[in-house]
Chain A
Amino acid sequence: MTTSIVVDNVSKTFRYQSHPTLKKVLQNRLHGSRSNETFKALDGVSFEVRQGESIGLMGLNGSGKSTLLKLVSGVMVPDDGKVLTRGRISGLIATGAGFHNELTGRENIYMNAAMLGMTKDETDSKFDDIAGFADVGRFMDTPVGNYSSGMFARLGFSVAVHVDCDIFIADEVLAVGDRPFKRKCLKRMKEIRESGITMFYVSHSAGSVKKMCDRAIVLDKGRVGFDGNVDDAIKYLHYDGDDEEPDGEEGSEDERDDALASDI
């Protein structure tokens, strides 16, 4: 088994306010306070992932999940420590990020695929699959600015899941799309996982992490709070619902995801 991702003692610091006006800076100087206070989004995070593993990344809001994903996908560079990956990365952090509203669905597919590192021939050969999966029908030659938000998300998703990648990063996938599409997504993600692609899956839904992943990492205020078995991670996070009263909305969302996951 080859290593797929190495995260070694990684820290990332952000500033609270990145663009103070000159007036603010002078005011702060006068009052003797410093405006550029910082906080650590990630603090000494280390772990290794083997090729083909499927990792659930969990944690409360603001625990550093998105920052970690951006470091692994190469959007950001760590301040300390190092992140190393092997092979091509695709993912769902950025579904539709490169889309241009004035261009048609077809043009945007080629554009987005190229951004994810696909060549023209590769995109040509996969175009029918991508178009079929997105299922936007005659809208393929309409500017994506006119798409419904569901269609827009489907198109972005469809490109990302068809990249022939080695590492797949999925951030809150189930937040978009209707039920049939969610089912299709989960099915596709399962295929991706079974083809031996390393999967990095972020979700708040304990059920879908349990179904999709064989290892979980829980971030807690920028540090690795737990790394190991999924069930234990859920216990660690108290997501198993023992100590909270059943919250209607969240509970049903969870159940539906559970139901979806067991459907496939």
Chain B
Amino acid sequence: MSQSRPASMTAPDPDRRPVEVRHDLAHVPLAAPSRTSGVLEVFRRRYLLRLMVRREIKARYAGTAFGLAWSYINPFTRFLTFYFVFGLLLSRGSGMQNFAIHLFAGMVLVNYFTESVTAGTRSLLSNKGVIAKMALPREMFPVASMLVSLWHAIPQVIILTIACVISGWVGDGPLWVPDAVGMAAALLGFILIMVYGTACGLMFSCINVIFRDFQRIVQTFMNIVPFTVPMMYPYYLIADGERIPLKFHDLYVANPVAEAVMLIQRGFWYPTCDGPCVVDPATGAALPDFVNDLYSRGFIMLGIGLVLLAVAQFVFSRLEKTVPERL
């Protein structure tokens, strides 16, 4: 509420005129002290947002000896576990190349999504000390947790890139050369998760204040998400209609996380393959790697996501009025 102030008063106060004159209050409108312009207000106060994100990142590993290294250790060990169980034990002879990269590319986005939504859902409750006492745009908290999760996705992208390079260098496939279309696809995947993650975080955070069982419900669903996307198994298992009726295939690919996972796999996993990425183990015929119309689906989902974000903002601004007294 004080963005446009004359420069004179940011100086360390040699000015002895009364505040009324100094701030030219006669021309400041009377306004409701709690008025905000929703998510846009968050970007108007970028400085505070930046500090809050930094605070969360710093506080997460505060006092630990390894510090930021934990951001690498956790996803890396999880990757190894999945790789041994699904890649080596269960998936021998599935006709797939570089399964580990296929898996890990998906994990980057799935982790990002589940972390944003879980942390976003809790964000208002876990900051109740501040919210009950200070007038801040409260959209700040879910947006900040989404950005903190994004920050934690960066080490995973680095591990993924290293894995891609190594597979081309040491493995028998071609050298990994990322292509422009693929990188754009991966970026679109990230943006999709960002939009949907923010929308869910916004909506769920204030529902969670009113109905506190909600974070447990969300947690339950987030545990299911990794299995609803093609990362631990190839896409064709869903698409060929042998195991799952084809009508469910449409439902499956309508999941924005599944779409985003295929987009990032297009960026990282697809260029590591020598010839067709997935072949039928019996006949050797090439099988579909991704859903048809991967890109146009991505853009349509982005549009739907933006609408969902607007709806989430509407729900949030309706519910947030009662948040401080319910905390």
Contact = CB atoms under 8 A, between A and B. Distances in A.
Given A75-B132, A75-B324, A86 B10 contact: no
Contacts of B31: 84-86
Contacts of B33: 71-74, 83-85, 89
A250 B45 CA distance: 44
A256 interface: no
A89 B10 contact: no
B34 A195 contact: no
Given A84-B31, A119-B47, A196-B20, A75 B133 contact: yes
Interface string A7-39: 000000010001100000000000000000000
B199 to A, nearest CB: 24
A97 B1 contact: no
Nearest to B21: A196
B89 interface: no
A126 interface: yes
Contacts of B321: 77
A225 to B, nearest CB: 24
B27 to A, nearest CB: 9
Interface in B36-57: 45, 47-48, 51-52, 55
Interface in B1-52: 1-2, 9-13, 18-21, 23, 25-26, 28-35, 45, 47-48, 51-52
A52 B26 contact: no
Given A94-B133, A117-B2, A85 B55 contact: no
Contact of B59 (A2, A102, A110, A166): A102
B58 interface: yes
Given A73-B33, A75-B135, A97 B325 contact: no
Contact of A2 (B20, B48, B135, B324): B20
A125 B10 CA distance: 8
- Name the interface size band of chain B: 35 or more
A143 interface: yes
B326 interface: yes
B130 interface: yes
B80 interface: no
A98 B130 contact: yes
A37 to B, nearest CB: 15
Given A74-B35, A117-B1, A122-B10, 8 more contacts: A19-B326, A73-B134, A74-B32, A76-B324, A87-B25, A87-B28, A94-B130, A110-B51
19 contacts: A2-B25, A4-B25, A72-B33, A73-B134, A75-B134, A75-B324, A76-B34, A82-B32, A87-B1, A87-B23, A94-B133, A98-B129, A103-B59, A110-B51, A111-B51, A119-B10, A164-B9, A166-B25, A195-B18
